[in-house]
Structure 1
């Protein structure tokens, strides 16, 4: 494989130096790369590398090392010079961003063989900065799960389906509204006892149950925890003098 055998397609609008997202078109198929790129006079270093591409192509480490040498030979300059000097050697591609939508909190996990560079492109289309997408996906791969607020989601199901096609499983990570009265009824406690046991203001609890106000996100999270694991809430509220909060 020679430098003239490959074509580089850079997502120029969303790449943020030193974090790059680009496709490498080779005779064997298309490889997608996402990472923090450092380029010198005779070397190319990609840190926290994410690799995706044609599923039928087996990109072993030997092949990847060879491809890295070919890319370094093809470019051999810094990021700004890539854009200014190389013309046909690096083709740029615009990414159309979603123009309107609402922020959504998601948990992300992945399947074997997930195409994380494509997942990054999907998230960036929803106005998540590429560097943030790279960091979140790196955390997901390292720890099995990561959490992110996607800034501009116009169609949640479409986003989840797109990520699923890239091997990334997205779930909404925010509490749904819950009936305060049903939670309390499940405990068989009066309003007065319920509010004391779970650290709630009695007047606020009454307003929730009578529909005069609604729990915010934090209160909904507490109510779901009471519904699922009331003992944990009770234990977390049992304080003793001199007991410090847990260290990070």
Structure 2
């Protein structure tokens, strides 16, 4: 974390009373937490749960083809994710989390991009 990013995080914490900081590369998260707690901060670790694309699709009771078409995902990409051959990148993970939480709203938003014929 750069000094500027750390400064901004502290300013947000002072302003809002809390801040979330992504700390991907430290030797010891426990040592960092202790050092921050020594300054009077309360530290809570948050872990990212992995995305289970197959589980999201099954909860929606959709086939791979239906899910891919409904949410604008390449079918082969979806299959690769489900088979563990590839993992969704951060953008795709965010999209999949949105689908998981708001499937109907995401479907409607996705349909705005589809040309409809009558």
Q: Same fold (TM over 0.5)?
A: yes
Deviation of 1:171 (Å): 4.0
**Structure 1 residue ranges without an equivalent (≥5):** 1-127, 242-248
CA deviations over 1:157-202 (Å, ceiling 9, x no partner) = 44334434522334447x4322221111111001111112222111
Name 1:169's counterpart in structure 2.
Answer: 43
The structure in which a higher percent of residues are helix is: 2
Distance of aligned partners of 1:146 and 1:215 in 2 relative to their CA distance in 1, 3 Å threshold: same
Between Structure 1 and Structure 2, whose CA radius of gyration is higher? 1
Distance 2:9 2:109 in 1: 29
Spell out the pairing of 1:114-153 with structure 2 (5 A cutoff): 128-150=1-23, 152-153=25-26
**Number of residues paired by the alignment?**
113
SS of the equivalent of 2:43 reads: strand
SS of the equivalent of 1:150 reads: coil
TM-score, normalised via structure 1 length: 0.39
- 1:205 paired residue among 61, 78, 84: 78
Name 1:194's counterpart in structure 2.
Answer: 67
Distance of aligned partners of 1:134 and 1:203 in 2 relative to their CA distance in 1, 3 Å threshold: same
The structure in which a higher percent of residues are strand is: 1
